[in-house]
Each structure stands twice: as C-alpha cells, then as structure tokens.
Amino acid sequence: MEKYRSLLFFLLILLLTSCTALPLSTSRNFIEISPQTTMSETNKTSEQESAQLPDNNEIVMLLRPLDENRIDIVGIDANCFDDPDKCEIKTIIHLPKNMPQILKLYWLDDGIHALFWDSDSGKIYQLNRTTGKIQQFKEKVWKTQSDFFLSPDGMSALYDLQKNDFENGIVLMDVNSGDTKTLDIHVDGMKRIAEWVNNDKFLFWTEIYSGQKGYLEDIKVYTFDISTQKLQTVDLGVDWLITSPPYYSPDMKTFVISTKNSIFFFDKDNNKTKAVNINKETYLWSPDSTKLVVYTQEKSILILKQGDNIEKQIFTVPEDSVLNDWLWLPGTNDLLLVICKIDDGKTSLIKYSLSNDTITTINWPILSKENIVSLSHRPSQNKR
C-alpha cells in the first residue's frame, strides 16, 4: 500500500532508523523552568544573546550532541546563507537533559514564541526566543502525531489526544491563553490531522481498524468547520486506502494527492489539472505556491513547477542515507536539506539554489559535533 501517512514521514524515520535528524480547560498551568534548577549555566549567556535579537527572519535548528543525549537550540540569520561561512550561530537554549526527545519547534506568528512537545513526559512547552527561557504550557498530552497544526491567522493550534489504540480526539488550543477544547467530531476510527483549509476549517482523515490485531480496513477523508460544526466528506472519486489526503499550496489555490506511482494536481474547485508519474515519498510546497519539491522512494529530490510538466532533479540522497528534514529559505529560491546516514545517524546540511542550480554543503564546525534533529523558520517579530 502507498505510504499514506506521508505527513508523518519524519516521525517514522525517527522510529525506524537511528536518524533523529514530528473537556474545556481554562487553566493555563504555566510553570517556568528555572536555569538554576534544570538548565546549565551557559543559558545565562544564551539569554544575553537572545535579548539582542534583531527583528529578522531566522533559521532555528534543534541539535543533538554526538556524545550526549540532549537537545541544543540555535539560531542563524536567514539572510546569511548566500555566504554560509559568514553565518553567526547563536545559542538560544540548552534544553534540560531530561528532555532529549524534542523533535520540532512550531513558531507562532509573533516571531517570539514557539511550541514544542516532549513525547516522554507528555508535556507541551512554549519557548520565548527573546528571553531564551521555556515555560510548561500543558501536561498529560499523549499524542499520536508529534505535530502542532497552526491556523493561518496564528491564533489557534490543533493537535490530537489519544484515547486508546484505535481511537483519539482532536483538540483546539488558543495559543495565547492555553485554553483547550476537544472538538465534537462524530466519526469512527483514529483521526489524523492533515492541515488547515482556512481559519475555521481543517482537513483530516480517519483510519478504521478491525479485529484485535488492528487490521486497517478503511480510510475516509473529511473537512470540519469549527464555527458551524459541519463535517463534510471529501470525495474525489479515489480509494483513500491507496491515496494520500489533499495537500494544499500555501495560497490555497491548488492541492495535490498521490498514489503509489503518481501525483495529481487539482484546482480549488476539485478539477484535476495535471498528473505526473512519480513514486513520491513526501513533498513540500514552496512558500510562493509555484513549485512542489518531491522526495521519491528512489531517494531523488525533484522540483515540479506549476504550469508545466517538467521534472527537474536537483539531488539524489546517497543509498546509505535518508532525507531527515527540509526547509525553503524565506524569500529565496533556496532549499535547505538535512541528510542523515542510516547506520550512525550522522547528519549533513546542504543548500540547493534553484536560481543558479548550485549545491553547497555547509560545513559549520558545530555540525561536526552535533547532529541536526530538525529545522524551523522563525518569522520576523510583529505585533498581532
């Protein structure tokens, strides 16, 4: 069966290889983590650096030291990648050693705060980029998906909450107050969040299992409107057991679905506009919605441009490695790739420039001592 859970691709890699590189509550339950009790003394320096944070885009990396099972968070000015050797890497925070399983940061649109989840403790934390401190946001959150899904207006986040092996709920959280509400969605099966369609509506699918061994029997795709509580089936005339759910472009004018051997493009009115024969593993829209970059099951990375059928191969991942993460540099045609060796988890960072068709391996000294868990883009600071 086609690897339907492509949205969970990086989490599956984490599990299968050594690569690490994803009722209404009114109590915020904020607990500040004190550097004196849980963090190393180096955080005092980190806080001083963070206080001088300029108002610009930043690429933030989660790093894991080769000789320690912990996570460091560092930031790099997103505008420096034209000459990576001149990039200054600023330490944001060394996370406590009891939090080694953090996979990803999810930045709010204020450019200051980010959410992350500790899968070991079931706690949600918020990172403050300005102070370099973290605060506990929620506890006893046991998710089946590591992701947070932030709404287009940046005010809400969705995540799932596990009930049992074959059933879960979807939770809506206010990212400012921390208030949560489990949505009243009456469908059977394990719900998997895909993405927001607009500020009120999101896309998800359900996996319906049967028998004690949990045989996957059926998959259905839906949209749910939070404001109207309307649940609607997504019917594109395909078998969702062998087809991935719709994946929308950032401008919401196009979406793609995929089967084992093909990617299909649709317009916003559900009209099929293009089909491309590619064995896709996962894919990523460019921020301007004009390009779709595809990682194939043959480990090639291709770029498809809207409006033509030309597939441009930009990179082939070595046979002994996997693609661990990727990210478009904001405001550019440059793509960052994190490549991870399967046997020892060693990572490398590569920049591909679509404008001049060049590949650059970034050899910062810190990358010889620490492996990249994930990348994220911290937007410029702004006031809501």
Query: Is pLDDT of 90 > 60?
Result: yes
Helices marked H in the chain: 9-16, 35-38, 43-51
d(CA 211, CA 219): 16
Distant-in-sequence, close-in-space partners of 214: CB < 8 Å, separation ≥ 6: 165, 166
Per DSSP, the residues of 88-111 read PEEEEEE--TT-TT----EE-TTS
**Residue 361 counted as domain residue:** yes
The pLDDT value given to residue 18: 59
Question: Which among 337, 338, 295, 300 has a CA at the least distance from the CA of 319?
Answer: 300
Categorize the per-residue pLDDT at 384 as very low, low, confident or very high, splitting at 50, 70 and 90: very low
The pLDDT value given to residue 41: 31
Indicate the burial class of 13 (C-beta count within 10 angstroms; 0-12, 13-18, 19 or more). buried
**Residue 201 counted as domain residue:** yes
pLDDT tens profile 117-171: 999 999 999 999 999 999 998 999 999 888 999 999 999 999 999 988 888 999 9
Query: pLDDT above 70 covers what percent of the chain?
Result: 84
Categorize the per-residue pLDDT at 93 as very low, low, confident or very high, splitting at 50, 70 and 90: very high
**Residue 46 counted as domain residue:** yes
Per DSSP, the residues of 315-382 read EE--TTEEEEEEEEPTTSSEEEEEEEETTT--EEEEEEETTTTEEEEE--GGGGTEEEEEEEEEPPP-
Please check whether residue 105 is in contact with residue 93, taking contact to mean a CB–CB distance below 8 angstroms.
Answer: no
Question: Which among 192, 200, 197, 199 has a CA at the least distance from the CA of 221?
Answer: 192
Please check whether residue 108 is in contact with residue 115, taking contact to mean a CB–CB distance below 8 angstroms.
Answer: yes
Q: What angle do CA 2, 349, 17 make, to 5 degrees?
A: 45
d(CA 101, CA 373): 10
* Distances, alpha carbon 328 to alpha carbons 288, 331, 375, in Å: 10, 9, 10
Neighbours of 146 (CB within 10 A): 18
**Residue 54 counted as domain residue:** yes
* Distances, alpha carbon 40 to alpha carbons 31, 34, 43, 130, in Å: 18, 10, 6, 18
Residue predicted with more confidence, 21 or 187? 187
Residue predicted with more confidence, 291 or 45? 291
Categorize the per-residue pLDDT at 351 as very low, low, confident or very high, splitting at 50, 70 and 90: very high
**Residue 29 counted as domain residue:** yes
Number of domains in the chain: 1
**Residue 338 counted as domain residue:** yes
**Residue 43 counted as domain residue:** yes
The pLDDT value given to residue 346: 96
Query: Is pLDDT of 323 > 70?
Result: yes
Query: Is pLDDT of 242 > 70?
Result: yes
Give me the sheet containing 201-210, strands edge to edge.
190-196, 201-210, 215-225, 230-233
d(CA 285, CA 227): 28
**Residue 383 counted as domain residue:** no
Query: Is pLDDT of 49 > 50?
Result: no
User: Could you tell me whether strands 156-164 and 167-174 are parallel, antiparallel, or unpaired per DSSP bridges?
Assistant: antiparallel
Please check whether residue 137 is in contact with residue 30, taking contact to mean a CB–CB distance below 8 angstroms.
Answer: yes
Query: Over the chain, what is the mean pLDDT?
Result: 85
Say which range, 28-32, 117-121, 175-179, has the weakest mean pLDDT: 28-32
d(CA 73, CA 206): 34
Q: What is the CATH number of the domain that holds 294?
A: 2.130.10.10
Categorize the per-residue pLDDT at 53 as very low, low, confident or very high, splitting at 50, 70 and 90: low
The whole-angstrom distance between residue 210's C-alpha and the CA centroid of its chain comes to 30
Range of the domain at 96: 6-378
